[in-house]
Amino acid sequence: MNTSKPEFIVAIGGSSGYLAPLLKFFDRTINDRVSYVILRHISADAQSMLKEILQHHSKLDVVDGTDNMPVENNKVFILPPGYYMTIKNGVLHLKERKDLRNCAIDIFMDSLAADFKERSIGVILSGGGSNGVEGAASIKKEGGIVFVQEPSSCESNALPLKVIDSENYDRILLPEHMPGAILNCVADYLKKSKDRISVQRKSA
């Protein structure tokens, strides 16, 4: 087994007020066979110090996503401003965003759901608009898991509320409680996989 490949990929989407909950999330994230992709609803020409800020709040390596970059275990990948990003066969692909409408969260979550199926996790943090609603639905359709930030803890709760209204979510949590829930999901999946292999061997 290639240990550099993650068991799960977590796609984290947000916009207005996303930074504070994001830092609370990564303050409690550990090495756990999971990789993370951060998707921000920001303008194409935005300047960001997120990688430098986040590195002080995470034990994981934090990198900017680049075209044809394999997703490796226990890393955090940041979508650069001005691009759309997709994933196929565990490899990131970037395309310059030329349209005014920003649907980067939906686009990545759609591709993640198609690529990782039930091993995809969507996290919806504070934000406005609807970028992320369709992506959450795609993840749920493929058997993945969606966590939504508790709306009362959001600076802007429009996006979390829209995902909740769509009913395409599993749990509503504070950001600091999400890493533990993700660990439980990974543990449950690995146990079920181990049990399936054990049954197959006994019946062979």
pTM for this structure?
Answer: 0.92
What span, in angstroms and rounded, lies between the C-alpha atoms of 19 and 86? Answer: 22
Q: What percent of the chain has pLDDT over 70?
A: 93
What does the pLDDT look like over 142-169, one tens digit per residue?
999 999 999 999 999 999 999 999 999 9
Tens-digit pLDDT profile for residues 10-34: 999 999 999 999 999 999 998 888 9
pLDDT-derived band at 195 (thresholds 50, 70, 90) equals: low
What pLDDT, on a 0 to 100 scale, did the predictor assign at position 139?
98
pLDDT in tens, 32-63: 889 999 998 777 677 778 999 999 999 899 99
Q: Which carries the bigger pLDDT value, residue 192 or residue 24?
A: 24
Confidence (pLDDT) at 24:
96
pLDDT computed for residue 107 by the predictor? 96
Q: How confident is the model at residue 3 (pLDDT cuts 50, 70, 90)?
A: low
